[in-house]
Amino acid sequence: MTWILIHRWSYRRCQGPSTWPLIGAAIEQLNNYHRMHDWIAGYLSESTTMTVPMPFTTYTYTADPANVEHILKTNFTNYPKGELSRSYMHVLLGDGIFNADGERWKKQRKTASFEFASKNLKDLSTTVFRNYAIKLSTILSQVSQERSRSVDMQDLFMRMTLDSICKVGFGVEIGTLSPELPDNDFARAFDMANMIVTQRFIDPLWKLKKLLGVGSEAILTKSIKVIDEFTYNVIHKRKTEMKVHASKPREKIQHDILSRFIELGDDPEGSDFNNEKSLRDVVLNFVIAGRDTTATTLSWFIYMLITQPKIEEKLNAELKAFEEKRAKEEKITLDSVDMQSFKTRLLQFASLLDYDSLGRLPYLHASITETLRLYPAVPQDPKGILEDDVLPDGTRVKAGGMVTYVPYSMGRMTYNWGSNASCFQPERWLGEVGHVLQNVSPYKFTAFQAGPRMCLGKDSAYLQMKMTLAILCRFFHFRLEPCHPPVHYRMMTILSMEQGLNVLVSTRHS
């Protein structure tokens, strides 16, 4: 008892959560696990950085852009993913790009960056993203005819982005966005595994559960089996297709990210990727990047439109003006929607959307960016600490601990964004003339990381989101389902919605 009293007395003036001997802040953190991001944001609104002792390590959380730049750029080598974080995520992400450090990370990034920079991938992505946005629109059009029928937009977006990344990234068609919306065991298992590995960060007993094969770790093992079965099937299918193409040299081969890594495995310098386990890690890392992050952002965007009707009106006005101008350029006569079939007019509009023309929708771009500011797809990004260091704000961090910059908190801090930080305001990204996008430091707006680990898929993500939302916002109106539970995030590495986003859909005819 005396020991506990001394400990509590010594921490009486420290900012941050209540701590106790041996268990640190575990009790308060566990009590707030369901609202962890807001719990952290509450403390970071009082101080730009906070330290949270836990049973086996110490977490340092920061929302200070200067600290973020120090971690992600200035002293980058001192803050790898770290063995602790890697151990939590390894069962799901293995040695893939988001869970790797050192030379293995460099090789993967080099290969992926080459592919993302290619014109072929950009052209393929534009076509694929347009086609899947049209498929989604067809489903929504059918739903709109049944006025009392609701649909989960988060589920539809997850299906669309999974199909998209499998087509663009791995060259395979899996059909989860088919009109009948088939059950998706892989997606369900992937989400479950994501939740469980996230819990490991605050669960000191996870290794014991794994050893005994009980509780959440038993569920994780079953989920990983489903995930691996799907992933290895994708790899086998792509390898088979590549062999068929190789026997027909005159056929044009579609190069995708997975194909690049398969070819790299055949090269002596790419020996790290000459086994299917390594390719499995590549696939799953790009699934979480291409599926989850984009789908959750699209979901939060639709939710913002539902709660902000004035912004929906401004966005629709921009899209209508864009349609009229592009139609004149292409010498297309636009009749009213009522005078044509709804689908014909939607296809006509979709044909006007390409990589370059989407850049002429600044309010749409600003609205997506504002969504990412308040609802970043990756709400926290933990790093290991190799050597003792002092952050720019004076916080001392020790080797072996972890430091986490918190995009979710950063977007809500008045010291970063002013007194209206908590407001959804796309105009903050536009200049005085209303159409020039403002540049903001990536160490302040951290939705796509920054420094050497800056997200390679940023342009691809914006392309898919703008393509999809331009079509959806031009032709559909969304309302939250009556009696919908409060929209809240689920505790995962990705900021998905806990109860989905069930909406009623109606079509626009003007």
Binding-site residue ranges for heme: 455
Binding-site residues sit at 455
CB atoms within 10 A of CB 246: 10
Tell me the pairing of strands 502-507 and 381-384.
unpaired
Question: What CA–CA distances, in Å, run from 323 to 99, 125, 353, 477?
Answer: 43, 22, 9, 18
- Is residue 129 within 8 A of residue 235, CB to CB? The reply is no
Tokens 């050893």 correspond to 211
Q: Enter the tokens of residue 378.
A: 């990756």
Q: DSSP readout, 337-361? A: GGGS-HHHHHHHHHHT--TTGGGG-
Closest CA relative to residue 200, chosen from 79, 55, 397 = 55
Please tell me the distance from the alpha carbon of residue 509 to that of residue 337, in angstroms, as a whole number.
Answer: 5
Q: DSSP readout, 116-147? A: HT-HHHHHHHHHHHHHHHHHHHHHHHHHHTST
- Is residue 384 within 8 A of residue 82, CB to CB? The reply is yes
- H or E stretch at 477: strand 476-480
Please tell me the distance from the alpha carbon of residue 44 to that of residue 217, in angstroms, as a whole number.
Answer: 32
Q: DSSP readout, 233-295? A: HHHHHHHHHHHHHHT-TTSPP---HHHHHHHHHTSGGGGGGSSHHHHHHHHHHHHIIIIIHHH
